[in-house]
Amino acid sequence: MQVRTIILTIAAVLLTRTATPANLIIDPGFEQNSAAWNYNGEYAGRDTWDVAATGSICAYVNMWANGDSVSQTVNTIPGRRYRVDFEIASNHCCWGPSYLTVSFADTIGFTAWETNIQTPANVFSNHTFIVTATNSTSTFRFSGYMDWGTFFLDNVSVTPEAPVLSQPTRVQENQFCFLLSGVHGQTYTILVSTNLCLPRIAWNPLLTTNLSSDSVIIQDNQATDKQRFYAVRLEP
């Protein structure tokens, strides 16, 4: 469960605590040689040439890999947004046109020609995109065509995008507002407590909302306590 918590005091001091979303990808750095990864085609595989971004292993597609790919399928929730992070590199040894695509949930989030990868040979760069899942399973796919050279992939991460509480504002002595940012159509419950140390199950629900847009203003009309804590819970 992704939780964002803000703390309000009379002096309007704000502190944000963020839970780290779990990576849905198994063996994100390819070090474990997990069967969760699929290497599709003759020119896609697991690289042991010590060109990894971290560790000693990464994945690759290389010479004449016309549509060959490295992929993994994970469970997702339709309508929920997911952040896709990965690192790529090229050995810049191509002899002709070469291209690369990275997709998730049948949506291409990254495309590059070999000449557009500006890092030096075998030096990795970080890339990110966000996709909304449409099915209960979604596939991460690294695919391309490299005329004689090699594209490398490492440190893949797919994480649910967590809701965010921000922009705290004391409206009146008993009113406090903040911005809830999340996914349009997703249901969230705002929890409130005067004791941060209580387990979440002991916090009181302030309201439950099905977002009509990607962000809404939440107003608490009973914010009379010296100190009050807010958290957001993602509902099924």
SS3 letters across the chain = CCCEEEEEECCCCCCEEECCCCCCCCCCCCCCCCCCCEEECCCEEEECCCCCCCCCCEEEEEECCCCCEEEEEEECCCCCEEEEEEEEEECCCCCCCCEEEEEECCEEEEEEEHHHCCCCCCCCEEEEEEEECCCCEEEEEEEEEECCCEEEEEEEEEEECCCEEEEEEEEECCEEEEEEECCCCCEEEEEEECCCCCCHHHCEEEEEEECCCCEEEEEECCCCCCEEEEEEEECC
Most confident of 4-8, 174-178, 226-230: 174-178
Contacts of 113 (CB under 8 A, 6+ apart): 97, 98, 99, 100
Most confident of 58-62, 136-140, 180-184: 136-140
Tens-place pLDDT, residues 116-132: 666 677 889 999 999 99
Tens-place pLDDT, residues 89-111: 988 766 566 788 999 999 999 99
Predicted local confidence at residue 15, as pLDDT? 34
Tens-place pLDDT, residues 18-27: 455 789 999 9
Would you put residue 134 in left (φ > 0), alpha (ψ -120 to 50) or beta? alpha
What's the CATH number for 38-160?
2.60.120.260
The whole-angstrom distance between residue 102's C-alpha and the CA centroid of its chain comes to 14
In this predicted structure, the answer to whether residue 137 has a pLDDT above a threshold of 60 is yes
Q: Where are the domains of the chain?
A: 4-19+162-234, 38-160
Tens-place pLDDT, residues 30-48: 999 999 999 998 889 998 8
Predicted local confidence at residue 96, as pLDDT? 60
Provide the token pair at 132. 């909304």
68 φ, ψ to 5°? Answer: -60, 155
Predicted local confidence at residue 125, as pLDDT? 92
- Quote the CA–CA distance of 214 and 225 in Å, as a whole number: 29
- Quote the CA–CA distance of 163 and 16 in Å, as a whole number: 12
Residues in the chain: 236
Burial class (CB in 10 A: 0-12, 13-18, 19+), 58: buried
CA quadruple 135, 59, 126, 22: dihedral, nearest 10 = 50
Read off the pLDDT band of 182 (50, 70, 90): confident
* 8 Å CB contact between 39 and 132: no
Q: Residue 210: count other Cβ atoms within 10 Å of its Cβ.
A: 11
